[in-house]
Structure 1
Amino acid sequence: MATFLAAFLFLLAFFLLMSIGYLIKRKAVQGSCGGLGALGIEKACDCDEPCDRRKAREAKELARQEKLNKHRII
């Protein structure tokens, strides 16, 4: 139980310090290597023509956004 409590307190302190750092600097946490952007890839799927599953997912998201905009109060 003591080990669990120590690990929990350590993680709690870690996240608290990270949140204070974010509030002070207003800069998001990012990886050190730059990820796909460092390789010149703009997105995870770098194909010219997306697959049918991706097209369906994008159409569903577009319909959701249109529905939200249609019923927006402000």
Structure 2
Amino acid sequence: MVHQPRPTNITRTWTAEVVDRLDGAVVQVRTHTVTLAADHIGHQTAVVDSEPSTVQRAVQILEDARLVVMTSEVRQGRAA
């Protein structure tokens, strides 16, 4: 019998601080809570500031942030 890794569900949450600038000057600092999740078959979902979001928007916020801190990670094996 060959051991096969069990697919897992994973959810990660970050706090992201995004700085908005105009002509080099800081005009606003926004803090977002971003959660990305993937189930055992790879279906991805996103939540930004407690509201459903697209995965693309959530990833863009994380990429644009000047500071990103992971606040939670949950992995769960698929039920047999």
Output the TM-score relative to the length of structure 2: 0.20
Q: Which has a greater percent of strand?
A: 2
Structure (1 or 2) with the larger CA radius of gyration: 1
- Bigger relative contact order, structure 1 or 2 (CA pairs below 8 A, ≥6 apart): 2
